[in-house]
Amino acid sequence: MQKEKPCLPQGIQVIPANYQSEVIFMNHDFISENRIDMTDYSNSNTDIHTSKYTLNESFPAHWHDHYEFEYYIKGKGCQIINGSSFPIVPGTLCIFSPTDFHEIIVEEPLEMLKFEYQESDIDPLVSSLFAGFPTGSPIHLDENNVLLFNHLFYSAILTAEMYPDSPYGKTVIRKLVESVILNTINRFAGDNIGIEFPPSMQFGDIQGVLAYIHKNFTNHITLKEVAKNTHFSPQYLCKLFHQKMGISFKEYITNLQMNYASKLLINTDQSVTDICYKSGFGSFPNFTRKFKKFYSISPSDYRKANRSLKGKSKHKKEDSK
């Protein structure tokens, strides 16, 4: 019996650049876990997924196991990113890492161009340059950058449609996506926003390791498991990781888990116990101990403090209207 195709959440109309009636379906399972995987894009024939679509209704809070670039060309709304609200208008570029949560609020139908990729999909040098880039805050592009980004995004989408199974097409898409990333870095550098680069400007030999970690860090992964799945010996990977990233494997995992847990505390009503296990920790005492050491405050107090700050910020905005 053929498995029935899952449907998109209500209100999402996916429109490829050629404006045919084809729809890109996402698996519905992500709704319960609020996570979208690269494998959820069921008609993606390339490692990097590109699309153009219109969002007619608000989209609930979620996160990804990959990087996502959303470039808005029509409509009006806002993005709630890691608990903070940002306006969305034509010319807005939003970038999300695997630890960013975001929710889309639609005021007028939003039309966007987008692509998703994992670190192992792009050139190691580009990935290195982008490693310290601050995601989570939208960029509002000026007229010159709008023309450039229109060209790059549309070119990538059209190439994916014209050469869906071609090595040539995959190469061109990758180069266009890398051009978007590099131009985005240049845009931030032009605004004098500092970017901290890793100790080694090229970590291509552990790109697959980073991609695996970002996809699985909530699953209580170990160095031995990662080494086995990325074809390294644990001893060599331990040394190589510290050499390339400037911190230990364990510290890197903890940083990701803490970042993720803190966002769950602020953006959801899940219990602290649930957040502990969903963030990849095997025991609640270990989680609370590490969290307090990392943030100098308990998880419960962290949630109260940040929600109090957001409440005050909201009242200030309302009073200023």
How would residue 66 be classed by pLDDT, with cut points 50, 70 and 90?
confident
The helix/strand/coil state of 163 is coil
* CATH architecture of the domain with range 204-311: Orthogonal Bundle (1.10)
- The reported pLDDT for the residue numbered 79 is 93
* CA-to-CA separations, 286 to 98, 217, 256, 266, 292, in angstroms, rounded: 23, 16, 16, 20, 10
Q: What is the pLDDT of residue 136?
A: 81
Per-domain residue ranges for the chain?
Answer: 12-190, 204-311
Following DSSP, what letter does each residue of 109-142 receive, concatenated?
EEEEEEEEE-GGGS-HHHHHHHTT---SS-EE--
CA distance 41 to 312: 39
272 SS3 class? helix
Share of the chain above pLDDT 90, in %: 44
Cα 71 from Cα 58, distance rounded (Å) = 16
Contact 30, 62 (CB under 8 A): yes
In this structure, what token pair is assigned to residue 139? Answer: 């960029």
pLDDT digit string (tens) for 143-161? 889 999 999 999 999 999 9
Considering only 27-41, 189-203, 217-231, which range has the smallest mean pLDDT?
189-203
Give the model confidence (pLDDT) of 252-266 as tens digits: 999 999 988 998 898
How far is Cα 55 from Cα 77, in angstroms, rounded to an integer?
Answer: 10
What mean pLDDT comes out for the span 269-286? 92
212 closest CA partner among 228, 198, 191: 228
At the topology level, CATH places domain 12-190 in Jelly Rolls (2.60.120)
Beta bridge partners of 106: 77
Average pLDDT over residues 98-116: 92
Of the two residues 184 and 128, the one the predictor is more confident about is 184
pLDDT at position 109 over 50: yes
* pLDDT tens figures, 11-39: 333 323 332 222 222 333 333 357 777 66
Residue 258, pLDDT score: 93
Amino acid present at 305? A
Cα R_g (the chain), whole angstroms: 20
> How many alpha carbons fall within 13 Å on the CB side of residue 241?
23
Helix axes 234-245, 249-267, angle to 10 degrees: 70
